[in-house]
């Protein structure tokens, strides 16, 4: 048989992070986190836990655990490297696309795995802020998760709507929403309708 070095299922960067994951939370080190976030579920096949340490408004250290496939492990590992030293404001804005770029891409069917990492991080940041009574003067309110399985938020649905999604199928193509248990479909379509209404409304205002 040919050696296993080439044409692996994933990019070399993913493989490298899968083989040597960084910043995994170990039981021994007794990591004292300042914020903690979990997203996903075992039922859906992916679950991520992200812990952060914060000093002077910056993430100084990060630990994680993941139940999931190779790309889920690699994307959480990658995220844990990306956020070190980052300001909370910047870290809260990390997008799935940034994680994907860092990993040199993932197969289409695997994109949802990396989409979880930013949600878990965001949840950890929110937890840190809540613990410390920090009210963020953000224009934007925090995203609400609509699809628990894949961690798709109302903001993701808005982004998909802005990108032209009007049907359930189009929304699924853009976000992978509801491709596991599908229970969120009704709720998700309501959110899509609201988003489309909002976009339409904005457009009307522009024309005023």
Partner 1 sequence: MNRHVYLDNNATTPLDPDVLAAFSDALARFGNPSSMHGFGREAASLVSDARAEAAAILGAEPGEITCTSGGTESNNTVLASFAPGIPATDGVILPPPGRDEIIVSAIEHPAILETAFALRDRFGMTVHLAPVDATGRIDLAAFERLVNDKTALVSVMLANNEIGTIQDLTAISAIAHKAGAFVHTDAVQAVGKIPVDVTTLGVDYLSASGHKIHGPKGIGILWMRRGVPFAPLMHGGHQEQGRRAGTVNAPAIAALGTACRIAREQLATEARRLAGLRDRLRAGIEERISDTSINGNPDFCLPNTLNMSFRAAEGESTLLYLDLENIAVSTGSACASGSLEPSHVLLACGRSAELAHGSIRFSLGRTTSDEDIEYVLDKLPPIMARIRSMSTLR
- Coil, helix or strand at residue 62: strand
Task: Choose between 16 and 126: whose C-beta lies nearer to partner 1.
Answer: 16
Residue 104's nearest CA partner among 5, 7, 8, 13 is: 13
Task: Choose between 51 and 191: whose C-beta lies nearer to partner 1.
Answer: 51
Active site residues: 44, 113
Residue labelled with tokens 């910043």: 23
- Coil, helix or strand at residue 12: helix
Task: Choose between 81 and 202: whose C-beta lies nearer to partner 1.
Answer: 81
Give the whole-angstrom CA distance, residue 190 versus residue 184.
Answer: 10
Give the whole-angstrom CA distance, residue 14 versus residue 34.
Answer: 28
Task: Choose between 24 and 134: whose C-beta lies nearer to partner 1.
Answer: 24
Would you tell me how many other CB atoms lie within 10 Å of the CB of residue 91? 23
**Min CB(136)–partner 1 separation in Å:** 27
**Min CB(57)–partner 1 separation in Å:** 28
**Min CB(186)–partner 1 separation in Å:** 19
Give the whole-angstrom CA distance, residue 202 versus residue 204.
Answer: 5
**Min CB(72)–partner 1 separation in Å:** 8
Query: Going along 88-185, which residue ranges are E strands?
Result: 145-147, 152-153
Residue 46's nearest CA partner among 72, 84, 24, 20 is: 72
Would you tell me how many other CB atoms lie within 10 Å of the CB of residue 159? 15
Handedness of CA 147, 150, 156, 159 (dihedral sign): negative
Task: Choose between 45 and 142: whose C-beta lies nearer to partner 1.
Answer: 45
Residues near partner 1, by CB under 8 A: 1, 4, 9, 18-19, 21, 24, 26, 38, 42-49, 65-73, 109-110, 112-113, 176, 179-180
**Min CB(180)–partner 1 separation in Å:** 5
């Amino acid at each position: 048989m040919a050696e296993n070095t080439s044409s692996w299922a994933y990019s070399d960067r993913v493989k490298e992070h899968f083989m040597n994951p960084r910043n995994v939370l170990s039981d021994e080190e007794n990591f004292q986190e300042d914020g903690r976030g979990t997203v996903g579920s075992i039922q859906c096949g992916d679950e991520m836990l992200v812990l952060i340490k914060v000093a002077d408004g910056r993430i100084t250290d990060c630990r994680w655990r993941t139940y999931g496939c190779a790309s889920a492990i690699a994307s959480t590992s990658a995220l844990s490297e990306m956020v070190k030293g980052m300001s909370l404001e910047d870290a809260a804005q990390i997008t799935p696309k940034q994680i994907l770029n860092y990993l040199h891409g993932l197969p289409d069917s695997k994109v949802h795995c990396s989409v979880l990492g930013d949600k878990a991080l965001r949840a950890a940041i929110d937890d840190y802020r809540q613990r410390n009574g920090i009210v963020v003067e953000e224009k934007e309110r925090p995203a609400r998760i609509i699809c628990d399985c894949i961690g798709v938020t109302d903001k993701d649905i808005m982004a998909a709507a802005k990108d032209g999604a009007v049907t359930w199928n189009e929304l699924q193509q853009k976000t992978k929403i509801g491709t596991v248990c599908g229970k969120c479909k009704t709720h998700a379509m309501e959110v899509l309708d609201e988003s489309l209404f909002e976009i339409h409304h904005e457009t009307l205002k522009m024309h005023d």
